[in-house]
Each structure stands twice: as structure tokens, then as C-alpha cells.
Amino acid sequence: MKFNTDEQKIIHIFNDILLIKQEVWNRDSLNKILRKHTKKSGKMFRNDELVEHYHLLLENGKIQKNRVLEERIRLKPTRTNSGVAVVTVLTKPYPCPGKCIYCPNDPAMPKSYISSEPGAQRALNNKFDPYAQVYNRIITLKKIGHNIEKIELIVLGGTWSTYPLDYKIWFVNECFKAMNSINQNSDKYTIPKDRQSSKVEWTELEANQILNETSYCRNVGLVFETRPDYITKDEIILMRKLGATKIQLGIQNLSNKVLDANMVGRNTEDLKKAFSLLRRAGFKIQGHWMPGLYTSTPSIDIREYKRLWKKDFCPDELKIYPVSVIQNTTLYELFKKGEYIPYTQKELTSIIEKHIQMTPRYCRISRIIRDIPSNEIEAGSTITNLRQTAEENLKKKGIKINEIHYREIKGEMVKKEDLQLETLTYKTSVSKEYFISYKTKKNDKLCAFLRLSIPKRSFLNNNYIEELNNSSIIREVHVYGPVVGLKYKSLGESQHLGLGKLLIQKAEQITKKHRIKKISVISAVGTRKYYELNGYKKGELYMHKLLD
């Protein structure tokens, strides 16, 4: 973009933005400034235009880099306030083994997705091409001012485990190729020509993974979505080889009667086994929970949610998706006959409040309610701010919220001296878990955390993954706050304060106290170099460090 007579107005906008004090800045502040300094045409500047002009002025030496300015002109800052840039992609439509009565059956989509959902629309527009989905989404985030150096990639689409092996290798390889093809100056959308799934050798994927270790857009987390009854030892090893670090599982409910009535096709024992195998392999586990299933009641939902925090489960993250009645589903037919009655808004809000209240400090409720457009919902809640309403109600009642999402530091600035270390422990069927975190002393805001798993003695030396024998496992290290580029130091953001390194040292100390001489980490491809700097060496599937 060449500068025109609007350049001076942009500079005035930037100057006015920086004049406003941090405690006064709010969501309306930028709009007031943009209305004051309009274009020559009389129209307001868009966020992406501000971002583009900022970078051009920076390149031409007309302004200096200013992180406060970057933060304030960024569109939808919450997209990267959790420490990573999240990119979601969908696999192609493919038969699902499940016959769940509530699942949408859109023929243009993978099972359970609707083509009008925002993420599904992006996949459809890109013809489910993994390269195009990843590349174009990252460029969009960049254009609206987000740092794109740390990418968490979420692969959705029904049951990942049922797709052919050749397709899975090809799909992940294309995702890594897209991330590797982007650099600091990339700014154009591209939709590659139609490509069919073709056979890709493991060696090609491994080469692209190695390239990603030092690329501009590094993969700091890879997530697959699948069914608990498809979690096996071999499947876990395969997903780890592909680079996965987190698995999304459908929990729905823990009552087998409710699961049977909804034709979910598996039971709670399948879920227990999946949790056990995944945790022994060091994976982070994110569950999908569904209040309001057919034959369930508010009391059943609350009772079964409480069971989630018993030793057989203890998920690290949750998505809470209240049931929506969608056309062309068995549930819709039951609804029309009067055999299924959704919860009232009051009942649902009360349930969500109790769910939030019961969620422990080590778990993050990532989402509450799906992005299904209201015109697609025949019955059920269409209120998009259900989470906000429930949180405000709890706050008015004086009930403390402990779950991670609510406590994240987000865009707040912090200093090391403002923080304190907190260590929580809880037991699972296979391990003793440590949730080690740095939080603010003043208001309990979470800045960084580490999940450390100490296997039970009966599992310590007979793990089905041989390289994890006689080892503790770091399952996650996460630093919250706005994404800070890899080459920049913290100017008050949580990232790059050195909190990750301090947490790793604490995990090593705890490991030694348990008389375990080896510590392993389920590293994402793009974080391998970080762990190398902390003394870890790459094994076959994990990174390891021998302790004195």
C-alpha cells in the first residue's frame, strides 16, 4: 500500500492512541479517535488498514516499534490473549461410526458440524484443503494485528481416528507446509489448486516438522478430536508421531443410561480407559460435556459433572455444549413428538453456574455454547453470552470462580515481584498430578502454569511407551497474556518473563523428590528448540532430561 494524503491522519491517530492512559483505555476509545480522524473520503479507517500503515511506517523509519500501540489497534485481541494464536481446521466429510441422536447430519460437512458455523464456512470456502485453511487463517490473524509466531493448530471433524492413515499423514503434512511457508512479510491470501489426498511418506512429514522447529510460524500445539472408544495404545503412538499434544474427547455425560438413550455407542468404561492411556502418554485431555441430553435432568447433569473430578477422569480442559435441537436429527423427531423437552433458559443458566462453580483450579473451560447460528436451532438456548451471564450471577452471589479461563491474566501487564508460586496436587487412577502456577498476589490472575505427572509406582517402569519408563512427564507448559514474538523481551506481558523456565526447574525439583532420575516432556514440534535450551534432548516421540 502506497501512502497518500491519509498518511498524516494515521500518524495523528497513533499519537492520540498513545496519549490515553492505560487505566482509561477501553473498547470505545479507538472508535472515538477514528471518528475524529476520518479518511479523505469521510469514511473511518479499518483495523487492518491501521495495522498495515503501522508496519509501513515502521519499515520506513517514520515511527518506532510500540507494543502498546500494537495492542490497541489489534482487532479482536482476545484471539491471542491466551498466549497462542489458535487456528482451527476441518477434515473432509467422512463417515462417522457414531449414531448419536443429537448430531447434525449436514452432507457437506464432517459429522456433527453445520456448514453455517464460522469455522465450517472457512473450511468449505477452502474446499477442506488443509494447506489453504491454515495459510489463509494465519494471514487473516496477521492482517488484523495479531502475532502469528506461536500457532496452536486444532484439527476438528468428527472422529479423526477413523480416517485412512494416508489421508491423516497427508493432512498434517499440508498443515506444516502451510505454517512453514509463511514469513514475517507474508500478506497475501492463497488458495492452492484442488488437490486430492495423496500418499505422503513419513519422511516428508518428519522433514517438514524439523523445518518447523525454526520457522517463523511455529506449531506450539497440535490437537485432534476423536471418540474415547477409538483410543488405543497404537492410536496414541500414531497421534504422537504426527505431532499431537492434546486430544479432544466426547464425554457428553457419565451416566450410561443417558449415553444409551442418546445412542452414543460407547460407555463410561471406554472413557476411563481412554483417560488412563492418554494420561500415561502425557497428553493434555480436553473433554466435551453436554447438559440437557435426552432423558437427562438438571440433577443428573449436576451429579454426573461432579463425578468428572474423581480419579478416573480429571480433564485438563472442557468445552461445555448445551444440547441444541437441529433439523434432520433423531432428537428433532423426538422434539416434534413432545418426547424431548429442552431446559428452560433459567434451568440451563443455573446448571452452567453450578458447573463453573464445581470446576477446579487446574481445569480450563475453553468454551460454553457452540457457534451454531440461531436460525439453525429449532429448540434450546440461543443466548450467546450464556457464560458471561453465569459468571456475573456467581460474582453477585460472592462465589469464587477457580477455573483457568476466568483467571487468565489476558492483556494485563505484570512484574515478577507481583507474582507468587502456587502448587496444587490431585490424584488420578494412574498418577499424582502437580499443577504448578504463577499467579498475581493481588487478584489471583493466572500468568503461567505447568502440568507435571508423576506415574504411580505400578506404572512407573512398565509404560506401554518404552521411552517413558522410569520418568515423570511434563504434560504442558503454558504462559498466558498477549503473544510476544520470539525475539522480543517482555515489556510487562507474562510471556518472556522467564516464568516457563522457572516452572520447568520446579518440576525437575519435584521429580527428584520422588526419586525419579528422568523427566520427559510431550513437546510440540515448534517448542523443541525451547526445551533444548533447557537441557532436554529429543528421543523417538518425546524430549528427555536426565537429572543428577
Amino acid at 439: K
Question: Please, is 477 exposed, middle or buried when counting C-beta atoms within 10 Å of its C-beta (0-12, 13-18, 19+)?
Answer: buried
The three-state (H, E, C) secondary structure of 212-238, written as one string:
HCCCCCEEEEEEEEECHHHCCHHHHHH
Encode burial over 166-203: b for 16+ CB neighbours within 10 A, e otherwise.
Answer: ebbbbbbbbbbbbbbbbeeebeeeeeeeeeebeebeee
pTM of the model: 0.87
CA distances from 336 to 91, 325, 333, 348, 379 (A): 32, 10, 5, 21, 10
Predicted confidence (pLDDT) at residue 301 exceeds the cutoff of 50? yes
User: Which of 83-92, 140-149, 207-216, 229-238 shows the lowest mean pLDDT across its residues?
Assistant: 140-149
What pLDDT is attached to residue 250?
96
Would you state the pLDDT for residue 496? 65
Q: What is the pLDDT of residue 2?
A: 46
Q: What is the pLDDT of residue 27?
A: 64
Does residue 132 have a pLDDT over 90?
A: yes
Mean pLDDT of 193-214: 88
Instruction: For strands 85-90 and 150-156, give the pairing.
Output: parallel
Q: pLDDT grade, residue 64 (50/70/90)?
A: confident
Average of per-residue pLDDT across 271-278? 98
- When pLDDT is averaged across residues 223-251 and rounded to a whole number, the result is 98
Percent of the chain at pLDDT above 70? 92
For residues 119-147, give the mean pLDDT: 91
Is residue 102 predicted with pLDDT exceeding 60?
yes
Q: What is the mean pLDDT of residues 296-303?
A: 98
Is residue 490 over pLDDT 80?
Answer: no
pLDDT at 486: 57
Per-residue pLDDT for 267 more than 60? yes
The total of other beta-carbon atoms located within 10 Å of residue 339's CB is: 11
Helix (H, G, I), strand (E, B) or coil at 208: helix
d(CA 476, CA 482) in angstroms, rounded, equals: 18
Q: 441 and 418 in contact (C-beta within 8 Å)?
A: yes
Mean pLDDT of 447-475: 97
Band (133; pLDDT cuts 50, 70, 90) = very high
Helix-then-strand count for the chain, H and E: 19, 16
Long-range contacts of 331-334 (CB under 8 A, 24+ apart): 331/101, 331/102, 331/294, 332/378, 334/101, 334/294
Does the pLDDT of residue 303 top 60, yes or no?
yes
- What pLDDT score does 491 carry? 53
Written as one string, the DSSP assignment of 388-422 is HHHHHHHHHTTPPP-SHHHHB-TT----GGGEEEE
Residues above pLDDT 90, as percent of the chain = 69
pLDDT, average across residues 133-145: 90
Which tens digit of pLDDT belongs to each residue from 386-397? 999 999 999 999
Model confidence at 543, pLDDT cuts 50, 70, 90, reads very high
- Return the closest-CA partner of residue 86 out of 419, 305, 416, 364: 364
- Cβ burial 281-307 (10 Å sphere, 16+ → b, else e): bbbbbbbbbbbbbbebebebbeebbee
What's the one-letter identity of residue 57?
A: L
pLDDT recorded at residue 418:
92
Question: CA 306, 510, 241, 149 torsion: positive or negative?
Answer: positive
Whether the predicted pLDDT of 143 surpasses 80: yes
For 461, counting Cβ atoms within 10 Å of its Cβ (0-12 exposed, 13-18 middle, 19+ buried), the class is exposed
* Residue in the block written with cell 478430536: 225
Name which of 300-304, 373-377, 479-483, 535-539 the model is least confident about.
479-483
Q: Which of 59-68, 216-225, 483-492 has the lowest mean pLDDT?
A: 483-492
Q: How confident is the model at residue 1 (pLDDT cuts 50, 70, 90)?
A: very low
Spatial CA neighbour of 291 closest among 253, 260, 319, 334: 253
Q: DSSP per residue over 293-320, as a string?
A: -TT--HHHHHHHHHHTTSTT---SEEEE
Q: How high is the pLDDT of residue 505?
A: 98
Please give the pLDDT value at position 3.
46
Residues 6 or more apart whose CB falls under 8 angstroms from that of 282 comprise 453, 468, 473, 474, 475, 520, 521, 522, 542
Residues 6+ apart with CB under 8 A from 303: none
The reported pLDDT for the residue numbered 75 is 64
Closest Cα partner for 292 from 181, 156, 386?
Answer: 386
Q: What residues have CB less than 8 Å from 168, skipping those under 6 apart?
A: 160, 238, 242
Average pLDDT rounded to a whole number, residues 477-502: 71
Over residues 354-379, mean pLDDT: 93
Total residues belonging to the chain:
548
Sequential DSSP letters for 505-531: HHHHHHHHHTT--EEEE---GGGHHHH
Distance CA 106, CA 24 (A): 47
Per DSSP, the residues of 87-118 read EEEEPPP---S---TTS---TTSSTT--TTSH
Q: Which of 112-126, 192-206, 531-545 has the lowest mean pLDDT?
A: 192-206
**Does position 412 have pLDDT exceeding 70, yes or no?**
yes
Q: Is the pLDDT of residue 223 over 60?
A: yes
Residue pair 474/485 in contact by the 8 Å Cβ criterion: no
Q: Is the pLDDT of residue 194 over 90?
A: no
pLDDT score, position 78:
59
Instruction: Tell me how far apart the alpha carbons of residues 150 and 84 are, in angstroms, rounded to a whole number.
Output: 5
Across the chain, mean pLDDT equals 90
The grid coordinates of residue 506 equal: 520446579
